[in-house]
């Protein structure tokens, strides 16, 4: 009996060792966060069970409140997948069709001469312009005025054209997901609000008791972490002052997000068909497949299939990733604008998946005058936004910019005319030198 007890005790110890070791490694990954900085909460699930939750840094620097595992953060764009599920559920219920034109429910939008459908919004192939620049030009810039979704519909209704014909290209934009919340309410014939529909149809069935929409920035939210941005002498508050939801604006916790990710395995909400549809990458009208699904990005990272999305709003930075072949999900929520939750999340993920980290780019010798010629301002040919590039060379005409691969294009004379940015599946975003 004593021998059997020793064997069982040894087995239990051996089984516990990896988890203990992983916790130590997670502590190391987040070790830069302390009592003088904002921080992050992290949650990991493995084969449907929560394997780890932890908090690092401070939720409130003024009052010295630490971050714990059940702290509430704002989602940023991770919220889009929940808005996408609301649309998919309405389609499943026969209340809308994914191929319905938006104007069926949002007649305020102009007739662009080609159908702009719900399906286009889900995969960022709508061509709708990002609302922030029109808001600035109209004298109501983000952060200076308290904007709501109706304001964004008004801005969209004044756009006489799209960035491109729907379905022909990919361009990330928040506008479609913001006005989709109004579409949901009109499809329900005023029977309930978007917020209530999401609560009843998604949050409650999955046990996401700490999740809600931030539709009133003044509302008191227990256990919420404030957001911060760095400045030369410390930190400044950067909690969003707006009532915009749908593309962002969700309040949640890492454990609630792990519960949501588990639905992609057991499909309690939506069932297998809807869950499969949400993870199916879109195909452009040209026949080219892209990495964007119903607001999830499906790609390969470290040799593993990754289904993920990141978020940023105010000083909040978030990331939610899932590795279905390994049964691993990781949620990272941060309240610092300088945080990189995708990097932190993927480093954490490798502890459970065993994935090999990607090799770090090896700098190559590039003539300084050559680098100066290609560093500068570029215009995105899809949405006309402008970006200033400062690049890390890797080999001829190939560079790294913020962790993204950049490939320069030259004319026959060798002059740099533009560049392409990898989107995880193909060279998709094209920029032109100004």
- For domain 368-433, give the CATH number: 2.40.128.50
Compute the distance between CA of residue 298 and CA of residue 41 in angstroms, rounded to an integer.
24
Compute the distance between CA of residue 123 and CA of residue 284 in angstroms, rounded to an integer.
10
Q: CB of 322 within 8 A of CB of 44?
A: no
Domain locations along the chain:
76-353, 368-433
User: pLDDT value at position 1?
Assistant: 43
Alpha helices by DSSP H, 30-148: 80-92, 118-122, 132-137
Compute the distance between CA of residue 225 and CA of residue 239 in angstroms, rounded to an integer.
9
Query: Which residue, 142, 112, 143, 106, is CA-closest to 128?
Result: 112
Domain with residues 76-353, CATH architecture: 3-Layer(aba) Sandwich (3.40)
pLDDT digits (tens, 9 = 90+) for 62-96: 999 999 999 999 999 999 999 999 999 999 999 99
Query: Which residue, 282, 295, 278, is CA-closest to 92?
Result: 278
Torsion sign, CA atoms 104, 109, 111, 116: negative
Q: What is the mean pLDDT of each run of 10 residues along the chain (434 residues)?
A: 40 43 96 97 97 98 97 98 98 98 97 96 96 81 87 94 94 95 95 96 98 96 97 94 96 98 97 97 94 94 93 97 98 97 96 83 61 72 72 60 61 64 49 72
Q: What is the pTM of this model?
A: 0.86
Q: CB of 109 within 8 A of CB of 128?
A: no
């Amino acid at each position: 009996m004593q021998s059997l007890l020793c064997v069982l005790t040894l087995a239990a110890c051996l089984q516990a060792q990896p988890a203990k070791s992983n916790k130590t490694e997670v502590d190391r990954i987040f070790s830069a966060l302390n009592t003088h900085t904002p921080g992050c909460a992290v949650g990991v699930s493995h084969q449907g069970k929560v394997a780890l939750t932890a908090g690092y840094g401070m939720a409130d620097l003024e009052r010295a409140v630490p971050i714990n595992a059940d702290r509430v953060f704002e989602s940023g764009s991770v919220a889009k997948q929940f808005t996408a599920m609301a649309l998919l559920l309405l389609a499943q219920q026969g209340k809308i069709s994914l191929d319905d034109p938006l104007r069926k429910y949002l007649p305020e939008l102009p007739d662009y001469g080609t159908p702009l459908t719900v399906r286009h919004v889900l995969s960022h192939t709508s061509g709708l312009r990002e609302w922030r620049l029109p808001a600035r030009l109209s004298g109501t810039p983000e952060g200076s005025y308290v904007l709501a979704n109706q304001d964004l519909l008004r801005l969209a209704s004044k756009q006489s054209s799209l960035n491109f014909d729907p379905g022909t290209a990919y361009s990330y934009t928040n506008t479609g997901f913001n006005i989709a919340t109004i579409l949901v309410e009109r499809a329900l014939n005023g029977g309930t609000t978007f917020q209530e529909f999401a609560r009843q149809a998604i949050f409650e069935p999955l046990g996401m008791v700490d999740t809600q929409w931030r539709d009133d920035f003044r509302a008191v939210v227990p256990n919420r972490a404030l957001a911060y941005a760095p400045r030369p002498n410390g930190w400044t508050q950067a909690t969003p002052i707006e009532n915009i939801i749908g593309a962002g604006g969700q309040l949640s916790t890492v454990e609630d997000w792990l519960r949501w990710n588990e639905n992609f395995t057991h499909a309690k909400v939506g069932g297998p068909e809807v869950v499969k549809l949400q993870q199916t990458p879109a195909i452009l009208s040209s026949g080219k497949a892209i990495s964007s699904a119903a607001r999830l990005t499906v790609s390969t990272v470290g040799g593993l299939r990754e289904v993920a999305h990141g978020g940023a709003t105010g000083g909040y930075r978030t990331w939610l990733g899932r590795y279905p072949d390994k049964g691993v999900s990781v949620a990272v929520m941060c309240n610092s604008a300088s945080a990189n939750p995708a990097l932190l999340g993927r480093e954490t993920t490798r502890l459970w998946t065993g994935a090999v980290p990607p090799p770090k780019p090896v700098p190559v010798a590039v003539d300084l005058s050559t680098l100066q010629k290609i560093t500068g301002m570029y215009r995105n040919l899809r949405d006309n936004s402008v970006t200033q590039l400062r690049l890390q060379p890797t080999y001829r005409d190939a560079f790294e910019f913020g962790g993204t691969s950049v490939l320069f294009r030259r004319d026959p004379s060798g002059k740099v005319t533009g560049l392409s940015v990898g989107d995880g599946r193909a060279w998709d975003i094209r920029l032109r030198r100004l």
